[in-house]
A = this chain, B = another copy of it.
């Protein structure tokens, strides 16, 4: 039976509480599906930074690389200047481990309240593939003449063809694989189906303004499309994409986009599918070490109260298992989560679930 080495970074605020539930579910799934996990805990985060002045140790990458996956709670501390921990831990790990894909499933679970009118679970079920290594996130740029009337600030939005291609390849393959007879994309027209398409991949960009960068994305996208004849391609400007995500989320299947646009639209998407309590993300290096996280943040005001929603962290653990190859276990957790949201929880919001954090973890275990 398989054993996976998991690096666990519970992090700040409510991070440790939600991670504890994710681990509980992970262990139960292991028992049921015949695998085990060996966890090593790392205390990196805001507390550690305040005590030591260190965001990550110099050999963080080396330490983590001994593992099969990383499970992250939340990074963010009210006493640390915004930006320090994000850049020093979260973004640094993404870059150093070359986790060039940020995978964000957007799925409205049964019973989960969406701020959108008249949308049901079958209307909101798509995946965003966000490029996670380039763009403005590289931090190239600078300021001159700071705080004078002549100050100029510049930030470079940079992509290489290689970066774009490897992200697009992942997205096309995901689109190709995502669809089975049981899970056809609901939005394909009869004509599309007759033409042999089984899925859709939408590139989100801003080609009419970001001529150089989105021009590269568009050319690479169109060139690669030829290799995936069953994937219908579409293009959408980022401004319009936010509209359709709110008005017609059922139009989307797999979406691929660059880093900052992906950051923006995935937060919006998370909100449309019930908010931060249930949204998980994977920072993937398909040939290396990947890191999975609930995307909600450290929620300091709920810390230690056993009221935070752990489902996003549990979802992150399920994504991790899926990525490690434990497909059945991942699917079982997903079904259990859907059962719990559909039949148990009163709300997804902290303190209003009708259950405590630990009870929600127990419910997911019971219904595995």
Residues of A participating in the B interface, judged by any CB pair closer than 8 Å: 82-83, 86-87, 91, 114-118, 136-137, 139, 141-143, 145, 147-162, 206-213, 215-216, 219, 238-240, 242-243, 246-247, 260-261, 263-268, 270-272, 275
Contact = CB atoms under 8 A, between A and B. Distances in A.
B243 A270 contact: yes
Interface centre among A87, A206, A270, by most chain B C-beta atoms within 10 angstroms, is A206
Given A158-B152, A216-B151, A242-B267, A208 B272 contact: no
6 contacts: A91-B209, A115-B246, A154-B158, A242-B268, A243-B275, A246-B272
Given A143-B212, A243-B267, A246-B271, A260 B206 contact: yes
Nearest to A152: B160
Given A114-B117, A260-B209, A272-B246, A159 B149 contact: no
A22 B25 CA distance: 61
A319 to B, nearest CB: 20
Given A139-B209, A155-B213, 16 more contacts: A87-B208, A115-B116, A117-B118, A137-B209, A139-B211, A141-B157, A143-B216, A147-B161, A153-B158, A153-B159, A153-B215, A154-B212, A157-B157, A242-B242, A242-B268, A242-B271
A152 B143 CA distance: 23
A153 B210 CA distance: 10
A242 B147 CA distance: 30
B136 A148 contact: no
A261 B239 CA distance: 9
A209 B136 contact: yes
B82 A207 contact: yes
A159 B233 CA distance: 35
Contacts of A86: 208-209
A83 B208 CA distance: 4
A212 B153 contact: yes
A212 B143 CA distance: 6
B149 A136 contact: no
Contact of A271 (B137, B147, B247): B247
Contacts of A246: 115-116, 246, 268, 271-272
B268 A268 contact: yes
Nearest to A139: B211
A119 to B, nearest CB: 8
A171 to B, nearest CB: 18
A24 to B, nearest CB: 29
A247 B116 CA distance: 9
Contact of A83 (B162, B211, B266): B211
B151 A160 contact: yes
A83 B212 CA distance: 12
A117 B117 CA distance: 4
Contacts of A151: 160-161, 216
A162 B148 CA distance: 9
